[in-house]
Amino acid sequence: MDIPRELIERLSQARRVAVLTGAGISAESGIPTFRDALTGLWANYDPQELATPEGFARNPKMVWEWYAARRTSIVGVRPNPGHDALARLERCFDTFTLVTQNIDSLHQRAGSREVVELHGNITRVKCSLEQRVVSDFAEGESPPRCPCGAYLRPDVVWFGEMLPADALARAEDAAEHCDVFLSIGTSAQVYPAAELPLRALSAGATVVEINPERTALTRHVQFALQGLAGEVLPLLLDKLTAASA
Protein backbone atom coordinates (compact mmCIF):
# COMPACT_ATOMS: atom_id res chain seq x y z
CA MET A 1 0.00 0.00 0.00
CA ASP A 2 1.13 3.51 -0.81
CA ILE A 3 0.94 5.83 2.20
CA PRO A 4 0.40 9.43 0.98
CA ARG A 5 3.40 11.65 1.62
CA GLU A 6 1.09 14.45 2.73
CA LEU A 7 -0.29 12.25 5.50
CA ILE A 8 3.21 11.47 6.78
CA GLU A 9 4.00 15.19 6.72
CA ARG A 10 0.90 15.99 8.76
CA LEU A 11 1.72 13.28 11.27
CA SER A 12 5.30 14.50 11.51
CA GLN A 13 4.03 17.96 12.43
CA ALA A 14 1.32 16.76 14.82
CA ARG A 15 1.66 17.15 18.57
CA ARG A 16 -1.69 15.70 19.60
CA VAL A 17 -3.10 12.50 18.12
CA ALA A 18 -6.36 10.73 18.93
CA VAL A 19 -7.30 7.22 17.83
CA LEU A 20 -10.61 5.33 17.79
CA THR A 21 -10.51 1.55 17.38
CA GLY A 22 -13.39 -0.84 16.82
CA ALA A 23 -14.03 -4.56 16.51
CA GLY A 24 -12.04 -4.85 13.27
CA ILE A 25 -8.63 -4.60 14.90
CA SER A 26 -9.53 -7.29 17.46
CA ALA A 27 -11.02 -9.51 14.76
CA GLU A 28 -7.55 -9.61 13.20
CA SER A 29 -6.36 -11.31 16.40
CA GLY A 30 -9.13 -13.89 16.10
CA ILE A 31 -11.68 -12.37 18.48
CA PRO A 32 -15.13 -12.62 16.90
CA THR A 33 -17.49 -9.66 17.01
CA PHE A 34 -20.35 -9.91 19.47
CA ARG A 35 -22.88 -11.37 17.04
CA ASP A 36 -20.29 -13.60 15.36
CA ALA A 37 -19.63 -15.13 18.79
CA LEU A 38 -23.23 -16.34 19.05
CA THR A 39 -22.37 -19.83 17.85
CA GLY A 40 -22.39 -23.32 19.34
CA LEU A 41 -24.37 -23.45 22.59
CA TRP A 42 -25.32 -19.79 22.15
CA ALA A 43 -26.39 -19.89 18.50
CA ASN A 44 -30.11 -19.62 19.26
CA TYR A 45 -29.85 -16.73 21.71
CA ASP A 46 -30.85 -13.18 20.99
CA PRO A 47 -28.31 -10.48 21.99
CA GLN A 48 -31.12 -8.86 23.98
CA GLU A 49 -31.12 -11.94 26.21
CA LEU A 50 -27.38 -11.75 26.85
CA ALA A 51 -26.36 -8.10 26.80
CA THR A 52 -29.06 -5.98 28.39
CA PRO A 53 -29.86 -5.12 32.01
CA GLU A 54 -33.27 -6.70 31.45
CA GLY A 55 -31.70 -9.95 30.24
CA PHE A 56 -29.45 -10.06 33.30
CA ALA A 57 -32.42 -9.41 35.60
CA ARG A 58 -34.35 -12.27 33.97
CA ASN A 59 -31.55 -14.80 33.94
CA PRO A 60 -28.33 -13.67 35.67
CA LYS A 61 -26.83 -17.16 35.58
CA MET A 62 -27.15 -17.47 31.80
CA VAL A 63 -25.68 -14.01 31.17
CA TRP A 64 -22.79 -14.58 33.58
CA GLU A 65 -21.92 -17.90 31.94
CA TRP A 66 -22.03 -16.36 28.45
CA TYR A 67 -19.52 -13.70 29.44
CA ALA A 68 -17.41 -16.25 31.33
CA ALA A 69 -17.21 -18.26 28.11
CA ARG A 70 -16.18 -15.14 26.18
CA ARG A 71 -13.49 -14.32 28.76
CA THR A 72 -12.12 -17.84 28.46
CA SER A 73 -12.05 -17.61 24.67
CA ILE A 74 -9.78 -14.53 24.65
CA VAL A 75 -7.29 -15.65 27.32
CA GLY A 76 -4.84 -17.04 24.76
CA VAL A 77 -5.40 -14.35 22.13
CA ARG A 78 -2.42 -12.11 21.46
CA PRO A 79 -2.22 -8.52 20.24
CA ASN A 80 -1.58 -8.31 16.51
CA PRO A 81 0.81 -6.02 14.60
CA GLY A 82 -1.86 -3.31 14.52
CA HIS A 83 -2.03 -3.20 18.33
CA ASP A 84 1.77 -3.24 18.52
CA ALA A 85 2.13 -0.39 16.03
CA LEU A 86 -0.33 1.77 17.98
CA ALA A 87 1.64 1.19 21.17
CA ARG A 88 4.80 2.35 19.39
CA LEU A 89 3.04 5.31 17.78
CA GLU A 90 2.08 6.54 21.23
CA ARG A 91 5.74 7.33 21.92
CA CYS A 92 6.00 9.56 18.84
CA PHE A 93 3.70 12.35 20.02
CA ASP A 94 3.37 14.74 22.95
CA THR A 95 -0.25 13.66 23.51
CA PHE A 96 -1.70 10.38 22.27
CA THR A 97 -5.13 9.19 23.35
CA LEU A 98 -6.37 5.77 22.25
CA VAL A 99 -10.14 5.42 22.52
CA THR A 100 -11.46 1.90 22.01
CA GLN A 101 -14.87 0.31 21.65
CA ASN A 102 -13.26 -3.07 22.37
CA ILE A 103 -13.48 -4.82 25.73
CA ASP A 104 -10.60 -7.29 25.41
CA SER A 105 -7.55 -5.44 26.89
CA LEU A 106 -5.43 -6.17 23.80
CA HIS A 107 -4.30 -2.55 23.52
CA GLN A 108 -3.03 -2.56 27.11
CA ARG A 109 -1.36 -5.94 26.60
CA ALA A 110 0.42 -4.52 23.55
CA GLY A 111 1.82 -1.70 25.68
CA SER A 112 -0.56 1.20 25.05
CA ARG A 113 -0.82 3.41 28.14
CA GLU A 114 -3.42 6.11 27.46
CA VAL A 115 -6.40 3.85 26.70
CA VAL A 116 -9.97 5.08 27.10
CA GLU A 117 -12.43 2.17 27.25
CA LEU A 118 -15.81 3.37 26.00
CA HIS A 119 -17.54 0.02 26.39
CA GLY A 120 -15.81 -1.30 29.51
CA ASN A 121 -13.59 -4.33 29.91
CA ILE A 122 -14.66 -7.96 29.94
CA THR A 123 -11.80 -8.93 32.29
CA ARG A 124 -13.33 -6.83 35.09
CA VAL A 125 -16.49 -7.38 37.09
CA LYS A 126 -18.55 -4.89 39.04
CA CYS A 127 -21.41 -4.85 41.51
CA SER A 128 -24.76 -4.70 39.72
CA LEU A 129 -26.11 -2.47 42.50
CA GLU A 130 -23.21 -0.21 43.55
CA GLN A 131 -21.54 -0.15 40.10
CA ARG A 132 -18.07 -0.39 41.66
CA VAL A 133 -15.38 -2.74 40.35
CA VAL A 134 -14.88 -5.80 42.57
CA SER A 135 -11.69 -7.84 42.35
CA ASP A 136 -12.02 -10.17 45.35
CA PHE A 137 -15.00 -12.50 45.22
CA ALA A 138 -15.87 -16.18 45.62
CA GLU A 139 -16.11 -18.08 42.35
CA GLY A 140 -18.60 -20.69 43.59
CA GLU A 141 -21.86 -19.05 42.59
CA SER A 142 -22.92 -18.23 39.06
CA PRO A 143 -22.96 -15.29 39.17
CA PRO A 144 -20.97 -14.61 42.33
CA ARG A 145 -22.12 -11.96 44.75
CA CYS A 146 -20.65 -8.65 45.87
CA PRO A 147 -19.94 -8.27 49.61
CA CYS A 148 -23.08 -6.09 49.66
CA GLY A 149 -25.14 -9.12 48.58
CA ALA A 150 -25.97 -8.03 45.02
CA TYR A 151 -24.94 -10.06 41.99
CA LEU A 152 -21.69 -9.25 40.25
CA ARG A 153 -21.82 -8.60 36.49
CA PRO A 154 -19.30 -7.98 33.71
CA ASP A 155 -17.93 -4.43 33.68
CA VAL A 156 -19.11 -3.83 30.13
CA VAL A 157 -21.68 -1.50 28.62
CA TRP A 158 -24.84 -3.35 27.66
CA PHE A 159 -27.41 -2.33 25.07
CA GLY A 160 -29.55 0.44 26.49
CA GLU A 161 -26.92 1.62 28.97
CA MET A 162 -25.09 4.93 28.93
CA LEU A 163 -21.35 4.99 28.26
CA PRO A 164 -19.15 5.79 31.29
CA ALA A 165 -19.37 9.56 31.60
CA ASP A 166 -15.68 10.07 32.38
CA ALA A 167 -14.54 7.87 29.47
CA LEU A 168 -16.84 9.66 27.03
CA ALA A 169 -15.69 13.07 28.25
CA ARG A 170 -12.03 12.10 27.78
CA ALA A 171 -12.77 10.76 24.30
CA GLU A 172 -14.63 13.89 23.24
CA ASP A 173 -11.91 16.13 24.60
CA ALA A 174 -9.23 14.18 22.72
CA ALA A 175 -11.22 14.38 19.48
CA GLU A 176 -11.83 18.10 19.79
CA HIS A 177 -8.21 19.00 20.57
CA CYS A 178 -6.17 16.68 18.36
CA ASP A 179 -4.17 17.53 15.26
CA VAL A 180 -4.71 14.11 13.68
CA PHE A 181 -7.49 11.60 14.33
CA LEU A 182 -7.23 7.93 13.27
CA SER A 183 -10.41 5.86 12.93
CA ILE A 184 -9.40 2.20 12.78
CA GLY A 185 -11.44 -0.97 12.24
CA THR A 186 -14.80 0.53 13.12
CA SER A 187 -18.00 0.58 11.11
CA ALA A 188 -18.70 4.21 12.08
CA GLN A 189 -22.28 3.25 12.88
CA VAL A 190 -22.32 2.91 16.67
CA TYR A 191 -22.99 6.18 18.43
CA PRO A 192 -21.77 8.13 20.29
CA ALA A 193 -18.37 6.69 19.28
CA ALA A 194 -19.13 7.27 15.59
CA GLU A 195 -19.45 10.97 16.30
CA LEU A 196 -15.85 11.32 17.53
CA PRO A 197 -14.14 11.57 14.10
CA LEU A 198 -16.82 14.07 13.04
CA ARG A 199 -16.04 16.16 16.11
CA ALA A 200 -12.38 16.05 15.14
CA LEU A 201 -13.22 17.15 11.60
CA SER A 202 -15.32 20.03 12.88
CA ALA A 203 -12.42 21.15 15.07
CA GLY A 204 -10.05 21.25 12.09
CA ALA A 205 -8.15 17.99 12.59
CA THR A 206 -6.85 15.74 9.84
CA VAL A 207 -8.97 12.57 9.97
CA VAL A 208 -7.66 9.27 8.66
CA GLU A 209 -9.72 6.10 8.24
CA ILE A 210 -8.07 2.67 8.21
CA ASN A 211 -10.56 -0.06 7.34
CA PRO A 212 -10.81 -2.93 4.83
CA GLU A 213 -14.11 -1.57 3.51
CA ARG A 214 -15.72 1.81 2.97
CA THR A 215 -17.95 3.07 5.77
CA ALA A 216 -20.29 5.98 6.39
CA LEU A 217 -17.23 7.95 7.49
CA THR A 218 -15.12 7.38 4.36
CA ARG A 219 -16.51 10.23 2.29
CA HIS A 220 -15.79 12.74 5.04
CA VAL A 221 -12.13 11.99 5.78
CA GLN A 222 -9.03 13.51 4.20
CA PHE A 223 -7.25 10.13 3.97
CA ALA A 224 -8.91 6.71 3.59
CA LEU A 225 -6.44 3.82 3.76
CA GLN A 226 -8.26 0.68 2.69
CA GLY A 227 -6.72 -2.36 4.34
CA LEU A 228 -6.26 -4.31 7.55
CA ALA A 229 -4.95 -2.44 10.58
CA GLY A 230 -2.29 -5.10 11.10
CA GLU A 231 -0.87 -4.31 7.66
CA VAL A 232 -1.47 -0.57 7.32
CA LEU A 233 -0.39 0.62 10.78
CA PRO A 234 3.11 -0.96 10.79
CA LEU A 235 3.71 0.56 7.35
CA LEU A 236 2.48 3.94 8.54
CA LEU A 237 4.77 3.73 11.55
CA ASP A 238 7.77 2.81 9.39
CA LYS A 239 7.13 5.74 7.06
CA LEU A 240 6.75 8.14 9.99
CA THR A 241 9.90 6.86 11.68
CA ALA A 242 11.90 7.20 8.47
CA ALA A 243 10.62 10.76 7.96
CA SER A 244 11.61 11.70 11.51
CA ALA A 245 15.12 10.22 11.26
Q: How many residues does the chain have?
A: 245
Alpha helices (runs of H) in the chain, residue ranges in sequence order: 5-13, 23-27, 47-50, 53-58, 60-74, 81-89, 106-110, 165-176, 196-202, 229-244
Of the residues 83, 107, 119, 177, only one is catalytic, namely: 119
Separation CA 18–CA 65 (nearest Å) = 35
Q: Which residue has the higher pLDDT, 38 or 170?
A: 170
Per-residue pLDDT of 82-133, as tens digits, reads 999 999 999 999 999 999 999 999 999 999 999 999 999 999 999 999 999 9
Please state the rounded mean pLDDT for residues 35-44.
Answer: 58
The mean-pLDDT minimum among 6-20, 33-47, 165-179 falls in 33-47
With bands split at pLDDT 50, 70 and 90, how would you rate the model's confidence at 46?
confident
Per-residue pLDDT of 162-203, as tens digits, reads 999 999 999 999 999 999 999 999 998 889 999 999 999 999
Separation CA 182–CA 185 (nearest Å) = 10
Q: Is 107 annotated as catalytic?
A: no
Q: Which domains does the chain have, with CATH numbers?
A: 5-31+78-119+163-244 (3.40.50.1220), 32-76+133-156 (3.30.1600.10)
**pLDDT at 244 > cutoff 90:** no
* H/E run at residue 145: none
**Model-wide pTM > 0.85:** yes
Three-state SS for 158? Answer: coil
Write phi, then psi, for 197 (nearest 5 degrees).
Answer: -65, -30
Per-residue pLDDT of 214-229, as tens digits, reads 999 999 999 999 999 9
pLDDT value at position 98? 98
Q: Which residue has the higher pLDDT, 233 or 34?
A: 233
State yes or no: cis peptide before 147, omega within 30 of 0.
no
pLDDT value at position 149? 93
With bands split at pLDDT 50, 70 and 90, how would you rate the model's confidence at 240?
very high
pLDDT value at position 1? 79
Separation CA 126–CA 152 (nearest Å) = 6
Per-residue pLDDT of 120-164, as tens digits, reads 999 999 999 999 999 888 777 899 999 999 999 999 999 999 999
